[in-house]
Structure 1
Amino acid sequence: MDIPASNFTALAEGQAYLNRTSPNPSDLAKTAAKEFEAVFLTQVMEEMLKTVPLGDMGGGFAEETWRSFLARAYADQLVEQGTTGIAASVENSISAYRAAMRG
């Protein structure tokens, strides 16, 4: 059975396209690790903010919503500073898992 050369050319062109457009696995691991850290720190910040007294004017749905946005903003800043080491640890774990899966 003869396979036309055009099929191989199309396959090579498709693979080249995927190589150009597919994200680097290391970049994906870093992004996932940072997002994990942000979600975790948001939860920590929300629990911390619950301990802050509301005062006479506090409370209600609007403040609850505002506090969740504030918690995420604090968490995002901590992630950008990279001072907790959570994202680095998660990224290393993802990389080790990927290496173990390759054999």
Structure 2
Amino acid sequence: MDVKTSMAALQVTGAQIAQPGAIAPDAPASAAKEFEAMFLTEMVNEMLSEVDLGDFGGGKAEEHWRYFLAEAFGKELAEQGGAGIARNLEQAMSAYGAAARRGDHT
């Protein structure tokens, strides 16, 4: 995965930078699920790199195909409940937003 793709999941708006607690109500859930899917994609991709998938000829085309397969698995795993990463991350992000709205900076 390239840096642009990884960073796209972490982008925030100018309003969020100005006011850390000013995020859309569904933003933590959406961002957390997207992060979990990205994490699971990387995990599955790493596992698939150790598995012989048959005679696909090797090379860059096989590497790309393998990543697309891993990405499909990662997204589906996240949709099916994932590994609990999204739930914990969403709670942390919500707590941060609530603390920012209260003015807590610890």
TM-score by length of 2: 0.69
Q: Percent identity?
A: 55
Distance 1:102 1:57, change over 3 A: closer
Aligned 8 A contact 2:56 2:62 in 1: no
Structure 2: which 5+ residue stretches go unaligned? Answer: 1-22
Distance 1:91 1:53, change over 3 A: same
CA RMSD, 1 decimal: 1.6
The answer to whether the aligner puts 1:80 opposite 2:79 as a matched pair is yes
1:61 Cα deviation after fit: 1.2
Larger proportion of helix: 1
* Structure 1 counterpart of 2:80, one-letter code: Q
1:83 Cα deviation after fit: 3.7
2:11 equivalent in structure 1: none
Larger-gyration structure (1/2): 1
Question: SS at 1:25's partner residue?
Answer: coil
5 Å matches for 1:7-22? none
Aligned 8 A contact 1:42 1:74 in 2: yes
1:28 equivalent in structure 2: 27
Misfit runs of 4+, over 6 Å: none
